[in-house]
Amino acid sequence: MLLVFDIGNTSIAFGGFDGADLRFSSRVLSDPEKVQTDLPAALSQAFDRCGARASDVDGVILSSVVPALTDAVAGIAESLTGCRSLIVGEGCCGIFQTDVLPVREIGADLIAASVAAAKKYPLPCIVADLGTATKLIVLNSAGAFLGCTIAPGVRLAARALTRGAALLPDIPFNVPPRVIGTDTVACMQSGIVYGTAAMLDGMVQRIRTELGNAPLTLVATGGYSKEIVPCCKEPFVFDEALLLDGLRFIYEDTAR
């Protein structure tokens, strides 16, 4: 079994693969004070649910955009499985291609998402990754990384709005039934949800124009994409496990 970790600013997603079969996936919060207890417990529960054991793991790979958590997660994985982790970006980038930046300057999450999209979908392609940040990753017809856009994520934008405006409250992340809100919470939810969807639609149009109006495959992943994508006019395909698949592809390529 291959154990994969995607360490983000908000959460740590992880999964276990038997070949191409994702046996389990889950996530815990990226809390440095709790990771040493929360992650082992979540892994143990995940193994139990699928009838597997930590001793079944014969490989581990992780991507991280939180340097303070990289060694901690790698250490937890090694203590449970006995396997040292391959770390994306440290000489382990698999089939990732780019000519625009040195690989060391590209986030490990962007690398994993790019590899997975190039393997799984028709090209050229845009990947919308909606997490702590909202990112649009652009791949050309050969699957090479052309660049990306980065904007504040859904929850980050909502928190900034609340902190910056004295009369605006914290709000739950829900999709309102109408764009035109009739109370403060619905107005804020509309601006965050439908505003993000409209931004994605508009950015896709601009990227499409820069690429000469080539047909594009649109893929969405990340913690907020399941709710946002149905509000878009552009036809995004939702792929919840995209980054985990990317880590598997990178591991398989590196292990050859």
Give pLDDT tens digits for 132-150: 899 999 999 999 999 999 9
In the set 18, 21, 31, 109, the catalytic residue is: 109
- The ranges assigned to domains in the chain are 2-87, 103-245
**Domain formed by 103-245, architecture:** 2-Layer Sandwich (3.30)
Q: Which carries the bigger pLDDT value, residue 81 or residue 103?
A: 81
Q: Mean pLDDT across the stretch 41-45?
A: 96
Active site residue 245: no
**Domain formed by 2-87, architecture:** 2-Layer Sandwich (3.30)
CA distances (Å), origin 195, targets 64, 153, 185, 231: 28, 11, 14, 10
Q: Do domains 2-87 and 103-245 have the same CATH topology?
A: yes
Identity at 6, one-letter amino acid code = D
Calculate ∠ Cα 187-193-196, nearest 5°: 120
pLDDT at 49 over 80: yes
| CA atoms of 80 and 148, how far apart (whole Å) | 36
pLDDT reported for residue 178? 93
pTM of the full predicted structure?
0.91
Q: Are strands 2-7 and 59-64 parallel, antiparallel or unpaired?
A: parallel
Q: Mean pLDDT across the stretch 154-175?
A: 83
